[in-house]
Structure 1
Amino acid sequence: MSQIDIAKNYIRAAQSGDQAQLASLISPDVVWHQPGKNRFSGTHRGMSAVGAMLGGMMEVSGGTFTISRADHFMENDNWVAINIEFQAKREGVQLEQAGVDLLRIDNGQIVEVRLFSSDQALEDAFWGA
């Protein structure tokens, strides 16, 4: 399976909530760099920490946090860049913006994730401290 195929399978699994597929694609030792200055920001190491962070995002957003669009998958060595749009709702406020996800893939698994948001201040305000 190519790096692009792994990235596409990851996006599909994230969009559908397929936890088994995500577990097969993401290394248990993943290093996840969540941008910004909000309650979820920082470097999270291991699937346990990443799962807790993502679970918290789903809780805060009432289960509405999702990747609404993913396209332009681009590969450079063991990195894949993906143009995305993501959205969530919280207390009547809608977050909807573009971003870029960078996935480093090694031995068929995602071992590092770096995320970029088009309006980090807006995202920080949405998630809160």
Structure 2
Amino acid sequence: MAQIKIYGLAQTLDPIRAGLSDTIHSCLVDIFRLPVDKRFHRFFRLQREDFVFPGDRSAHYLIVEISCFEGRSAAAKKALIGALFERIKRNHGIASHDVEITITETPRWNWGIRGVSGDELGIDYRVCI
């Protein structure tokens, strides 16, 4: 399970939203081995006055927050971060300097999904990689 929040300026996100979602999801499928049909993305399209960031970032600055079940190796998380930087740059022309990524893991019992806690939820993929 992974839920993704993407923050950026509306003027930047609007033209690339669908493609950026595809890019991020492809990384999660390839690296975290999430099922193709498990896509949970939320876009936070901000106006310039609502998005304060350092002056050395451009209007393309993005923050990608990934919340997921715990259990993946450090190597898998580093591979995901590397793939996100590479594919976002290749597919959308956004420099790695303008992208920040955080991964927050929590125990499955801290999630509530479809009326049960996450540790009681039957999932059809492995979390530990």
Q: TM class, shorter-chain normalised?
A: 0.3 to 0.5
Structure having greater relative contact order (Cα 8 Å, sep ≥ 6): 2
* TM-score between both structures, scaled by the size of structure 2: 0.33
**Greater Cα radius of gyration, structure 1 or 2:** 2
Larger helix proportion of the pair? 2
Larger strand proportion of the pair? 1
* TM-score between both structures, scaled by the size of structure 1: 0.33
